Chain A
Amino acid sequence: MSTTFDKVAEIIAETCDIPRENIKPESHAINDLEIDSLDFLDIAFAIDKAFGIKLPLEQWTQEVNDGKATTDQYFVLKNLSDRIDELIAAKGA
Chain B
Amino acid sequence: MRLEYFQMLDRIVDVNIDERVIRTACTIPKADESPVFEGHFPGYPLMPGVLLIECMAQTTGWLASALVDFNNMPILAGVKEAKIRTAVLPGDALEFDGKVIHEGSGFTVSEVKGLRDGKVVCNAQITYRLLPYPNPKFRQAIRDWAGRLQYPFKEPVK
A sample of 13 more A-B contacts (CB under 8 A), given A58-B103, A61-B105, is A37-B106, A38-B77, A38-B78, A41-B102, A41-B105, A41-B109, A41-B127, A44-B105, A45-B102, A57-B105, A58-B104, A59-B104, A61-B106
Cross-chain pairs A/B with CB under 8 angstroms, 15 sampled: A37-B105, A38-B77, A38-B78, A38-B107, A38-B127, A38-B129, A41-B102, A41-B127, A45-B102, A57-B105, A58-B103, A58-B105, A59-B104, A61-B105, A61-B106
B116 to chain A, nearest CB (A): 30
B108 to chain A, nearest CB (A): 10
A56 to chain B, nearest CB (A): 8
A60 CB–B CB distance under 8 Å = yes
* A contacts with B, residue count (CB < 8 A): 10
Closest to B78 in A: A38
Write out, one digit per residue, whether chain A residues 55-70 have a CB within 8 A of any chain B CB (1) or not (0): 0011111000000000
* B contacts with A, residue count (CB < 8 A): 11
Q: Mark A residues whose CB is within 8 Å of B.
A: 37-38, 41, 44-45, 57-61
Closest to A39 in B: B78
A57:B104 contact, CB within 8 angstroms = yes
B55 to chain A, nearest CB (A): 22
List residues of chain A with CB within 8 A of the CB of B78. Answer: 38
Write out, one digit per residue, whether chain B residues 37-80 have a CB within 8 A of any chain A CB (1) or not (0): 00000000000000000000000000000000000000001100
List residues of chain B with CB within 8 A of the CB of A59. Answer: 104
A75 to B116, CA, bound (A): 44
List residues of chain A with CB within 8 A of the CB of B109. Answer: 41, 45
Question: Which 4 residue pairs are nearest across A and B when measured between Cβ atoms?
Answer: A58-B104, A57-B105, A61-B105, A58-B105
Closest to A60 in B: B105
A45 to B111, CA, bound (A): 14
B100 to chain A, nearest CB (A): 13
A16 to B107, CA, bound (A): 18
